[in-house]
Amino acid sequence: MTDFLEMRGLTMRFGGLMAVDGLSFKVAHGSIHGLIGPNGAGKTTTFNMISGFYTPTSGQILLRGEDISGLAMHEVARRGVVRTFQHSTLFAELTVLENALVGTHMPFRPNIFAAIIGWDREDRRGAAARAREALEFFGLGDLAEERAGDLSHGHQRALGLAVAYASHPDVMLLDEPFTGMNPEETRQMMELMRRLKADGITILLVEHDMQAIMGLCDTITCMSFGKFLAEGGPADIRHHPAVIEAYLGGARHVA
Amino acid sequence: MLKPVMFLLGAAALIALPHGLSFSQQEILVFLVINILLVMSYRLLTLTGEWSLGHVVIMGVGAYASALMTKNLGVPVPVGMILGGVTAALLAVLLSFPLFRMKGFYFLIGSFAAGEIIRLIWKRFREPFGGARGISGIDPMPDFSLGFYSFDFFEPVSYYYFAGTIVAVCLWVLWRIEKSPVGLTFHAVHWQDKLAQASGVNLRAYRTLAFAIASGFAGIAGALQAHYVGTVNPNSFDIEVMVFVLTWAIVGGTTTFYGPILGCVLLTVINEVVLRGMGFEQARPLFYGAIMILSILFLPNGLESIVQKILPRKATAKPDRKAAA
Amino acid sequence: MMELLAQTGLNAVYAASYISLVAVGLVLIFGVMGVINFAHGELFMAGAYAVVALYADMHLPFFVAVPIGMIFVGMLGLVMERGLFRPLKGNPLGGLVASIGFLMILQSLAVMGFGVRMEHIPPVTQEVWRISDKVGLPVARIYVIVAAVVLLSALWYFLKRTRFGWALRASAQDPEAAALQGISITQTARIAMFIGAALAGVAGALTAPLVSVNPHMGHSVIVTAFIVIIVGGVGSLEGAIIASVVYAFVHTFVTTFSDGVVADIVGLSLMLVVLIVKPTGLFGSADRA
C-alpha cells in the first residue's frame, strides 16, 4: 500500500483559534515528504497532532490504515512513528552514547528483574550495539564518550536524529532539522536523509530551508493559515503562484 | 584493584563499629541503618522527579502490615517483613491512580493528603489498628545462630548486623536498578520526558514503577523498625518525621547515590553528639530547621556537591575534536 | 434536633471566621510572592503565644494584647520575607523548604520559651449570647466573628480602593508588567508578607483564650488552610473565604454528628477529590504553582 500515512480532514482548534483546518494529504511509503508554509501556517501543530502531543479536534490520522489520532505520544512511537524536536531535548550531562541508548528503549525493552540480577547482559549489549550503529550512521561514532552538551550545534542535531533512528522507526517526523546549519552542514544532513530513505524509512519533514526542501523531497505539501494550499513535486511547488504568494505576497522566485 | 579493597575495609569498619559504642549509641546505630534505607528509597522517588510528602506514612504501612500479620496471623517475622514491603508497594500502585494525575506542587499536597488520611484511619480505628495508641507487643525477630555468630535480638548489636545486612542488600538492588537501562529511563522520565515519550516510554508506567519500588523499600524499613521497637503508633509516622527525611535528602543532595546517606549520617551524628551531649534534646527541630535554611540558601546542591569538588572529575573530553564527520 | 443544628451552625460560623483569616493570609502571600508558606500555621501559633505572654502573663488588656500580637507576627513575616523568600526568589521548592525550616525553628522556640504543656489562659469574658435555652454563642466567640468581618472588609477596601492595594493586585497578576510600571516588587512583597502573616497571627491571638495553646497547634491550622485554599482555588481570595465557610460548616457538622478524626478525613478527602478533578479549585485562576 503506498498510502502509508494519511491525514483526513485534520482540524485543531484552540479555544477560538483555528490552528489547522480540514487538512488532508497522503504520505507515500518510503518517500521524503516536505511540509512547508509561512510562519503560523500550522505545520508544527500538524506535527504535534501526528506525533500524539495534541489530540485533533476532528479528523483522522491513518497509519497503514489504522486511525492513530488521539493516541498518547508513546503509543504513537510504539507504532513506528518517531519524531525529533526543534529545541534541545538532549541530556547535556550524559554522554553521546547514553543519549543514543534512550532511543533503544523500544527495540530493547528493559526488564527490571533481569537488570537487578544481571541476566540482561545480552540485551544491554544488543542495545549498545544498536546505539553505536545509529551513531555511526550519523557520523558520531567517534564522539560516543563525549558529553552531549559539549557537542557543536550541528552534531547535537545529528544526535537527536540518531536517537530517533536507534528505535528502528518506520516513519521519522523531523521538526526543522536544518535550522541554524551552515551550507556544508546542510549538505551533509541532506546526504544523511537520503541514506535514511535508502534504509526504507519514510520521512515527513517540516522545514523553512528551501534549498533542503527542494533538494530532498519527493512530494511537498504547502499550508497556509491552517489550510491545505498546494501539493506536488519540487518543480511544481517552486513555481506555484499560490505558494509564492503565501510566502512573499509578491512575484519572486522561491528557490 | 583499589575498589574491592576499600569495600572490604569499609565493611570491616562497619562490622567492628558497634563494639566501640555504648548501649544507647548502638541503638542509634540501628535506627541510623533503618533511616538510611528510608531516605534512599525516597531518593528513588525523586529520581523520577516526584517529591512526595507521604513517604513516611508508606513506611508506616509496611510497619503496620508486618506487625498485624505477625501478631494476628502468626506469620514468621522475616516473612512478615517482606510482606510489609509488598503491601506498601501495592498500596503505592493503588495510590498512583489518583496521585499521578497531579503534577509538581499539587502532587506534593496530594501525597500529603493521602498519607494523612491513612494515618488518621490508623488513629480512628481501634480495630484493627489500635487507634491512637497503636499496636504494641509486636513479635521481635526470633534469635538464631549462624554457627560463627549467634543473633541474640535482645542486643542492639545483633539487630544492627541483621538490619544492616538487609539494608545493604536493598541498597545493592537500588544501585543495580539505577545503573541499568531502567535507571536511564527513570532519568529520562524526569529530565526529558518528551524525548522519552518519543522513544516509546510510557511515563505513567515508569513513574508508578519507581513509586512502587520506593514504597516497597520504605515498607521494609518500616517493618524493620516495628520489630525492633516492638510498637507502632500513628505518631511515629507523622509529618515531623517526613520533614526529617526531606532534610536528609536536601542537605545531602539527591543527584549522587551517596548524597542522602551523607545527609542522614551527618545530621544523625550531629544530633546525637551535639544535642544529646549538650543536653539540647528539645532543640532538635530548631537545629534541623536552621540547617535546612542554611543549606537551601548557601549549599543548594547539597553536601554531595562539596564531595564532588574534592574528588577528581571524571575525564570525558577527548583532546581533539573533528568538526564534521 | 433543630436546636442542635442551629448550635452547630453558630459554631461553624465561628470556625469560618478564624479559618478565613488564616486562609486569606496564605493566599495573599502565595498570590503576590508565588511561594508556599508552610510556616503559616506557626505564625498563627506565634499570635496565640503573644497573647499568652501579654494577656495571661503580663496582664495587659486583651484588646491591647491582640493588636500587639498581630503586629508582632506581621514583623515575623517581614523577617521571613527578608531572610528566606527574597534570597530564594524564583526557587519555589527552595522557598517551601526554607519555610519548613522556619516553622521548625518557631516550634522549637515555643517549646523552649513556654514548655510543651497546653496553656489554658483565662477567658476574656464568660458571657454567652443566648438565642434560646439550648442555643447560644459565647461572646468571646462573637468577638472573633466580628473581628474577622472587620479585618476582611478592611482588607477588601485596602485591595480595591487604595494605591498600595492596587499595586499588590498588579504584582500578583503579572509581576513583570507591574515592575515595568514602576511598582517596587520588594515593597509589595513586604506588604503582602506583613499582612498575610498578621492575619494568621491575629487569628491565633483572638482564639487563644478559646483553645488550648500548645507548640504543635500550628499543624492542624496549616492543614486546614491548605485544604481551604486548594478547594477555593490557589490564587483566589474570594475562593478562600467561600471555601473557608464551606469547610467550616462541613467540618463542624461532621465533628458534631460523628467525631473530629472523621471530620479531618472528610476534609482531606475533599481536598484530594478537588486535586484529582479540578486542581485549580472552585475559583482557581491561572496558578503559579
Domain identity same for A105 and A71: no
Which position has the higher pLDDT, C202 or C169?
A: C202
Burial category of C270 from C-beta neighbours within 10 Å (exposed 0-12, middle 13-18, buried 19 and up): buried
pLDDT at B313: 58
The Cβ-side half-sphere exposure at B116, using a 13 Å CA radius, reads 29
Asked if A220 contacts A231 with a C-beta cutoff of 8 angstroms, the reply is: yes
Model ipTM?
0.86
Domain identity same for A96 and A72: no
Query: Which chain B residue is nearest to residue A78, measuring alpha carbons?
Result: B200
Domain identity same for A118 and A13: no
Packed helices C217-232 and C260-277: angle between N→C axes, nearest 10 degrees: 40
Amino acid, single-letter form, for residue B161: Y
Domain identity same for A112 and A154: yes
Chain B touched by A218 (CB under 8 Å): no
- What distance in Å separates the CA atoms of residue A218 and residue C10, rounded to the nearest whole number? 78
Nearest in space to B192 (alpha carbons), one of A94, A177, A49: A94
pTM (predicted TM-score): 0.88
pLDDT at C253: 92
pLDDT at residue C288 greater than cutoff 70: no
Give how many domains chain A has, as a whole number.
Answer: 2
pLDDT at C145: 93
Tell if the CB–CB gap between B243 and C92 is shorter than 8 Å: no
pLDDT at A3: 62
Domain identity same for A140 and A246: no
Q: Would you give the distance in Å from CA A163 to the centre of its chain?
A: 12
Candidates A51, A76, A83, A89: best to mutate against B (most CBs of B within 10 A) is A89
pLDDT at A123: 86
Which position has the higher pLDDT, C1 or C259?
A: C259
Q: B touches which chains (3+ CB pairs under 8 A)?
A: A, C
Domain identity same for A55 and A175: yes
Counting CB pairs under 8 A, whether chains C and A reach 3 or more, is no
Interface of B with C (CB under 8 A): 51, 98, 101-102, 104-106, 109-110, 112-114, 116-117, 120-121, 123-124, 239, 243, 246, 250, 282-293, 296-297, 300
The Cβ-side half-sphere exposure at C266, using a 13 Å CA radius, reads 17
**Angle, CA of C229, B114 and C36, to the nearest 5°:** 35
User: Looking at residue A19, which CATH number applies to its domain?
Assistant: 3.40.50.300
- Which residue is it, cell 502571600? C29
Chain A residues with beta carbon closer than 8 angstroms to that of B317: 146-147, 150
Domain identity same for A94 and A157: yes
- Chain A nearest-CA distance from B245, in A, is 26
SS3 at position C146: helix
Tell if the CB–CB gap between C268 and B121 is shorter than 8 Å: no
List, in order, residues 6 or more apart from A129 with CB less than 8 Å away.
none
- What distance in Å separates the CA atoms of residue A44 and residue A22, rounded to the nearest whole number? 15
pLDDT at B316: 39
pLDDT digits (tens, 9 = 90+) for C117-171: 777 788 878 888 887 777 888 888 999 999 999 999 999 888 888 887 888 888 7
Domain identity same for A115 and A61: no
Tell if the CB–CB gap between A82 and B197 is shorter than 8 Å: no
List, in order, residues 6 or more apart from B88 with CB less than 8 Å away.
B58, B59, B61, B62, B65, B215, B216, B218, B219, B220, B222
Domain identity same for A65 and A92: no
Chain A touched by B210 (CB under 8 Å): no
Write out the DSSP string of B270-306: HIIIIIIHHT-GGGHHHHHHHHHHHHHHH-TT-HHHH
Interface of A with B in 161-190 (CB under 8 A): 163-164, 167, 184-185, 188
Domain identity same for A121 and A223: no
Nearest in space to B292 (alpha carbons), one of C94, C40, C107: C94
The reply to whether A196 falls in a domain is no
Cell of C242: 467561600
What is the mean pLDDT of each successive set of 10 residues along chain A, which is 255 residues long?
A: 79 89 91 90 90 92 90 92 86 91 88 82 89 91 89 87 92 89 87 91 90 90 90 89 75 45
Cell of A176: 526543522
Span C241-245, mean pLDDT?
94
The reply to whether A22 falls in a domain is yes
Counting CB pairs under 8 A, whether chains A and B reach 3 or more, is yes
pLDDT at residue C289 greater than cutoff 50: no
Tell if the CB–CB gap between C101 and B117 is shorter than 8 Å: no
Of A145, A168, A191, the position where a domain reaches its end is: A168
Q: Is the peptide bond before B128 cis (omega within 30 degrees of 0)?
A: yes
The reply to whether A188 falls in a domain is no
The reply to whether A147 falls in a domain is yes
List, in order, residues 6 or more apart from C265 with CB less than 8 Å away.
B117, B120, B121, B124
- What distance in Å separates the CA atoms of residue C31 and residue C44, rounded to the nearest whole number? 19
- Which residue is it, cell 564532588? B308
The DSSP output letter for B138 is P
Domain span holding position A7: 1-80+171-179+201-255
Domain identity same for A39 and A118: no
Cell of A210: 528551501
Write out the DSSP string of B86-99: HHHHHHHHHHHHHH
Q: Which of A85, A103, A147 comes nearest B194 by C-beta?
A: A85
Residue by residue, pLDDT tens for chain B (325 residues) are 678 888 888 888 888 888 888 888 888 899 999 999 999 999 999 999 888 999 999 999 999 999 999 999 988 989 999 999 999 999 999 999 999 988 888 898 899 999 999 999 999 998 889 888 888 888 888 888 777 777 887 788 888 989 999 999 999 999 999 999 999 999 999 999 899 999 999 999 999 999 999 999 999 999 999 999 999 999 999 888 998 898 899 889 888 999 999 999 988 888 777 766 666 666 778 888 888 899 888 888 888 888 888 876 554 333 333 333 3
CB-CB neighbours of C7 under 10 Å: 18
Chain B touched by C114 (CB under 8 Å): no
- What distance in Å separates the CA atoms of residue A148 and residue A109, rounded to the nearest whole number? 23
